[in-house]
Chains A and B, each alone.
Chain A
């Protein structure tokens, strides 16, 4: 069975600094997709970034980028120039192509310090 592990329950970062959130996964599938979602306090889940397993190039969306290491089954999220609005729970998610069964990690709570 596929699993997603986020080993950092909580992280803190100073405003304007850079922080990296870790995610590892386990799968025997060859075609899959990975996502990072953000859930601000009392607000709804927002898609941050996605990565297709067949793409070697790491995805980037403005201040958010990933470090996708397929062989190591690692998918970390880097947030540059952290802002107060980045404070949220961040979830890593996996889905095998054609399965339509999404698996989420337990989340990392990110605090941004002014």
Chain B
């Protein structure tokens, strides 16, 4: 089975721009979670989707949004980028019901200049 894939792997954006990151889960997985990883804050939970519905979200401003499509692929969007948004964004997929195991993708390294 192919693992979780994330595109793009690296991204450089300018402050004020917006960005969209994509995540394709492992085949058969219906849950997708997103995390922001920074040296100072560690791994911070952004949100979790299951069958196109957001089931929970972390404490991030409304500039951070996400969605999930019927094929379980997910995107997250960050609008009006700030320098502090520079981070590794990780996506993880799982079955989403009964099992809480997650399998992570390689991440998207976002740099905001």
Contact = CB atoms under 8 A, between A and B. Distances in A.
A110 to B, nearest CB: 16
Given A44-B106, A44-B107, A45-B90, A101 B45 contact: yes
B33 interface: yes
Interface string A23-56: 0000000000101010000011111001000000
- B interface SS class: strand
Interface residues on A, range: 20 to 34
A100 B104 contact: no
Interface residues on B, range: 20 to 34
B55 interface: yes
Q: Which 6 A-B pairs have the closest CB atoms?
A: A45-B104, A104-B43, A101-B56, A100-B48, A100-B55, A44-B106
Interface of B: 31, 33, 35, 42-43, 45, 48, 50, 55-58, 90, 92, 96, 100-107
Given A45-B92, A102-B48, A104-B35, 15 more contacts: A35-B100, A35-B101, A44-B104, A44-B106, A44-B107, A45-B90, A47-B101, A97-B100, A100-B50, A100-B56, A101-B45, A102-B33, A102-B102, A106-B42, A107-B42
